[in-house]
Structure formats: structure tokens, C-alpha cells
């Protein structure tokens, strides 16, 4: 068994919010996601080899997956020694009335992390319903809920150019790795292990937006880790720090005020529904 601090799985690639420079590319039109059975299959391939301190169910927005409760239950069973985290913006939690029960079945190992992405009144007026719902769940089911002001730590990973192209940081690999806030976010995607979210979902991004060929070439040179790998390969993967692919991210973190990420419909009205 090799211990890792945190292992993450995307329960869904799309999101009902649109956060500028989302490191998971969810604001750039990614859609869809794995089924509960696919997630469980990917987890089982590694459960006998990895022991994550935290196993995190993320996105995108995981509540866009109809089977989120099934994924939570499978995670609790497959990773019996891990803290199971569900990370969500909270706006669609009301669609998952079975979720607090699923979390409570895991007991003290389960955490519901809810991210507040903007401090403005318009956003917070809508977010008040989320706060009220998780208070109800805490009182009724005794689950552990944490609310994070995520916009306070937001950084720019890339910029969207006029015409829709993406400009990446082209950072120094070592400096980018040292400053990276995602270096403890190993991804479990398509049954394989990936260094971080920007790399894991790069191919999905490349199908939707224009990318310079040099970035495509750089990403094509990266190799994720297959579950059939040797123990040496796995240990080396976990211990690896900077790689050439780290050029995707900037050498220095640039913090900025995140604009209100609530999407607008064609009629100009705010929408929080997503594509469940």
C-alpha cells in the first residue's frame, strides 16, 4: 500500500457555475461525466494499492450526477480507511435527498465541503438557501459540513483569448510545481492516475476550444499511470514533483477577484440549474 494525501474523482465534468479560470476547465463547456458503476470500477482498480488519507468526490459539479449518493456509498466501502469528501457549490444539493443518509452511513469519515464562490449580495442571497439546507442536514443526520469562501483563494491558471483560444502560463516547471495549489489533487480518471486536474481533463478541453499545437504536443507527451503498472512505477509516480507538463501552469500565482460565476440564460436571467 502506498499512502497519498488526497485522491480525487470527477463525478461530473460540467458545472452549473462558470468560474473564470477554473482549474478543472468546467467553465469552458465541459459536459457529462462517468456513471456510478464506472466510478466504482475505477476505484476498485486501485483500492488494493493506494491508501489515500482523503478520497474526494469533485467536479465540475458532482451534484449534476444523478447517482451521486451511489458514488458516495461505493467510495465509503472501497476506501475504508479514507476520509470521504464531497466537494460542491451546494446549489443543487436539494436534488439529492438521499445524500445526507449516504454520508451518515460512512460515519465520522464523511465530510461535505461546500464552496461559496462569491461574496456579492446577489450571489449570497441565493447561497443563503444552501446554508439553510446544510444546517438542516447537520441537525437531522449529524453529518460534518464545512463551508469555504473559495473565492478568497482564487488564482488564474490560464486566460481565455479573444476568439475563444486559451493561453496557458508557460511557467518554469519547478516554480510552477512549488506554487501549485493542485499538486495534492491526484486524479482518478478513465481508470488511470493523473498528476492533477489540468492534465487529466486537457483532452476533454481540446475537443471544445482552440489550443495552440505546442500545448497539444506537450500534453500528448504526458503519460498517465495504468492500474497494471509495477509497484516501482506507482511509487515513482507518487513521488514525482515537477515535470515538463507543469509548464501549463504559471510560475507565480496571480490572485484576482472572481467575477460572479452564476450563469445567465439567453433571457438574461440567472440560472443555477446545470444540465442534470
Q: What is the pTM for the complete model shown?
A: 0.94
List pLDDT tens digits, range 177-221: 999 988 999 999 999 999 999 999 999 999 999 898 999 999 999
List pLDDT tens digits, range 16-72: 999 999 999 999 999 999 999 999 999 999 999 999 999 999 999 999 999 999 999
Residue among 181, 189, 174, 170 at smallest CA distance from 240: 174
Q: How far is CA 51 from CA 78, 114, 230, 274, in A?
A: 10, 24, 16, 33
List pLDDT tens digits, range 87-122: 999 999 999 999 999 999 999 999 999 999 999 999
List pLDDT tens digits, range 221-250: 999 999 999 999 999 999 999 999 999 999
* Residue entry with cell 508557460: 170
Domain extent, residue 253, equals 2-261
- Indicate whether 275 belongs to any domain: no
- Indicate whether 176 belongs to any domain: yes
How many structural domains compose the chain? 1
Q: What is the DSSP string of the chain?
A: -EEEEEEEEEEES--SB--TT-TT-GGGT------HHHHHHHHHHHTTTEEEEEEEEEES-GGGSTTHHHHHHHHHHH-TTSEEEEEE-STTGGG-TTHHHHHHHHGGGEEEEEEE---SHHHHHHHHHHHHHHHHHHHHH--EEEEEEGGGG-B-SEEEPTTS-EEE----HHHHHHH-SSTT-EEEETTEEESSHHHHTHHHHHTTS---HHHHHHHHT--PBPTT--HHHHHHHHH----GGGGGS-SS--B--PPP-BEE-TTS-EE--TT-
Q: What percentage of the chain has pLDDT greater than the value 70?
A: 95
The CATH number given to whatever domain includes residue 116 is: 3.20.20.70
- Indicate whether 166 belongs to any domain: yes
- Indicate whether 7 belongs to any domain: yes
Amino acid at each position: 500500500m502506498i499512502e497519498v494525501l488526497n485522491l480525487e474523482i470527477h463525478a461530473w465534468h460540467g458545472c452549473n457555475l462558470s468560474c473564470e479560470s477554473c482549474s478543472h476547465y468546467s467553465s469552458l463547456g465541459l459536459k457529462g461525466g462517468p456513471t456510478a458503476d464506472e466510478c466504482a470500477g475505477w476505484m476498485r482498480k486501485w483500492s488494493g494499492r493506494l491508501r489515500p488519507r482523503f478520497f474526494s468526490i469533485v467536479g465540475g459539479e458532482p451534484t449534476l450526477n444523478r447517482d451521486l449518493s451511489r458514488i458516495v456509498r461505493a467510495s465509503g466501502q472501497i476506501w475504508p480507511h479514507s476520509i470521504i469528501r464531497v466537494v460542491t457549490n451546494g446549489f443543487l444539493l436539494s436534488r439529492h435527498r438521499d445524500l445526507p443518509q449516504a454520508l451518515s452511513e460512512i460515519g465520522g469519515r464523511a465530510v461535505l465541503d461546500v464552496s461559496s464562490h462569491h461574496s456579492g449580495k446577489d450571489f449570497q442571497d441565493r447561497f443563503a438557501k444552501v446554508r439553510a439546507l446544510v444546517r438542516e442536514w447537520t441537525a437531522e443526520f449529524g453529518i460534518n459540513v464545512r463551508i469555504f469562501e473559495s473565492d478568497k483563494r482564487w488564482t488564474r491558471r490560464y486566460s481565455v483569448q479573444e476568439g475563444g483560444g486559451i493561453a496557458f502560463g508557460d511557467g518554469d516547471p519547478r516554480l510552477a510545481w512549488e506554487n501549485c495549489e493542485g499538486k495534492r489533487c491526484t486524479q482518478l480518471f478513465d481508470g488511470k492516475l493523473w498528476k492533477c486536474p489540468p492534465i487529466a481533463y486537457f483532452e476533454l478541453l481540446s475537443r471544445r476550444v482552440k489550443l495552440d499545437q505546442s500545448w497539444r504536443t506537450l500534453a500528448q507527451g504526458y503519460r498517465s499511470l495504468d492500474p497494471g503498472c509495477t509497484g516501482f512505477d506507482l511509487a515513482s509516480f507518487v513521488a514525482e514533483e515537477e515535470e515538463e507538463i507543469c509548464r501549463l501552469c504559471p510560475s507565480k500565482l496571480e490572485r484576482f477577484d472572481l467575477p460572479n460565476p452564476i450563469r445567465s440564460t439567453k433571457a438574461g436571467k440567472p440560472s443555477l440549474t446545470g444540465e442534470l
